[in-house]
Structure 1
Amino acid sequence: MDMVMKLGAESPVVILSKSTCCISHSIETLIRGFGANPTVYELDKLSNGKEMEKALIELLGCKSSVPAVFIGEEFVGGSNEIISLNVRGKLKNLLLKANAIWI
C-alpha cells in the first residue's frame, strides 16, 4: 500500500492502469482533455505490479483495481468516481486545485 500511495504523490495527476484496460484509457483521455498531463503507471508492465494491484483492490474495495486515480496527492477513486466528478462539473476544479491545469 505504501508504494501505491508513494506513486500517487509523484505528480499532480497519477493514473494506475493496465495496458489492456479500455476504461483506464478512457479516463486518461478524459483527464488529458482538460489539458492535464497525467503520469500513467501500467501495472502489467511493472515488476511489482501484482503486489500493487492487490493493494489497489483493498483500497478500492472491489474486484477491479484499475484505473486508480490520484489528484493532488490524494486518492480520488476509480472510473466511477472520476466520471461522477466530471458529470457534476467538479473534475476541472479538482485539477485546477492540484495545479495539474491552469486557466
Structure 2
Amino acid sequence: MDKVTGLASENGVVIFNKNSCCLCYAVNILFQVLRAGMEKVNTMLGCNALVPAVFISGRLVGLTDEIMSLHLSGSLIPMLKPY
C-alpha cells in the first residue's frame, strides 16, 4: 500500500488499471478526451484489486461509478484543471 500512496502523491492523476478491463479502457479514454496528464499503472500485484482506481492530487477519488458521476455532474473537470 505504501507504493500506491507514494505513486499517487508524486503524480497529479494516477489510474490503476488492468489491460483486460473494459471499464478501465472507458475511464482511460475519458481522461484522454479531457486531456488530463496522467500516470497509468497496470496492476500486476497478484491480487484482485478493484480497478480502475483513480487518484487525483494524492487522494483516491473512486472507481468507475464515482468517476462517471463526477464527470456527469460537472465536478471532474475542475478537479483536473491543474493537470
TM superposition score normalised by structure 2: 0.90
Of 30-39 and 76-85, more deviation after overlay is shown by 30-39
What amino acid is aligned across from residue 40 of structure 2 in structure 1?
V
Structure 1 alignment gaps of length 5 or more: 58-64
> Residue in 2 aligned with 1:13?
13
**Cα distance between partner residues in 2 of 1:9 and 1:41:** 14
**Cα distance between partner residues in 1 of 2:65 and 2:5:** 20
Segments of 4+ in structure 1 off by > 6 A? none
Per-residue CA distance 1:27-46 (angstroms, 9 max, x = gap): 011011111121000013xx
Structure 2 alignment gaps of length 5 or more: none
What amino acid is aligned across from residue 5 of structure 1 in structure 2?
T
**Cα distance between partner residues in 2 of 1:42 and 1:21:** 11
**Cα distance between partner residues in 2 of 1:95 and 1:43:** 23
Q: Does 1:87 align with 2:72?
A: yes
Give the structure with the higher percent helix: 1
Q: Does 1:69 align with 2:54?
A: yes
> Residue in 2 aligned with 1:29?
29
Q: Larger Rg: 1 or 2?
A: 1
What amino acid is aligned across from residue 4 of structure 1 in structure 2?
V
Aligned pair count reads 83
What amino acid is aligned across from residue 20 of structure 1 in structure 2?
S
